[in-house]
Amino acid sequence: MKIKMYTGLLGLALIGWMQAATAAETIQLFDGKSFEGWDYFLVEEGVKLEDVWAVNDGIIVCKGEPFGYLYTQQAFKNYKLVVEWRWAPGKKPSNSGVLLRIAGDHRFLPRCAEAQLQFGSAGDIWAFEGMKVTGHPARTRDVKGHELLGDFVGVGKIQNNEKDPGEWNRYEITFDQDVLALVVNGVQVNVASGLDNVAGAIGLQSEGGEIHFRKVELTPLD
């Protein structure tokens, strides 16, 4: 009962945010032709953007190696973000993520929140490098002393709603003040609070497997 009340109340808040977003102007972060407005970070020095990412027929193609991420040159705070992605048809799905409110130094995973894209886990929320997140205790994960990432915390998704590998998926990510809500293919799969209420860049990860993006658009809520 408590889980239903918690998700229900925050779900009502999400509806209000979505209605407010329709009155604001939507920004196409990916223009379908280039990486204008984006920068990048890779863990291996000397590797160029075009060695990892390309635009083909209106689709961002990310090879997945080496690890790193594209990130917007502009910082955003409160918004509804739509990201459409698929795993490369005919290839094994792997790992990636949408990084939100990136702050601090660039590294494999900077201080940020992540809307997980790892196959089978889309809808999980993670917070790295000291960013905090609070969700229902039954779905909260507190990781200590990870070999690469140190201490971090997450909130597992309520349910899975991904499509089969090779098919297009749609993320609707709403970040307002300290609350983050995730919708996958029309179904709300997670909501959490207590995140850093700061502006930051948005990132698309390169993390081990070929992944495609065809829409990245943002509607400010401020």
Q: Could you tell me the residue range of the domain that residue 163 belongs to?
A: 2-220
pLDDT of residue 132: 94
How confident is the model over 68-116, as pLDDT tens digits?
999 999 999 999 999 999 999 999 999 999 999 999 899 999 999 999 9
**CATH code: domain of residue 170:** 2.60.120.560
Q: Cα(8)–Cα(141) distance, rounded to whole angstroms?
A: 21
pLDDT of residue 10: 53
Residue 35 identity (one-letter amino acid): F
Closest among 182, 175, 198, 100 to 139, alpha carbons compared: 182
Handedness of CA 38, 42, 46, 47 (dihedral sign): negative
When divided into structural domains, the chain yields a total of 1
pTM over 0.85: yes
How confident is the model over 131-161, as pLDDT tens digits?
999 999 999 999 888 887 879 899 999 999 9
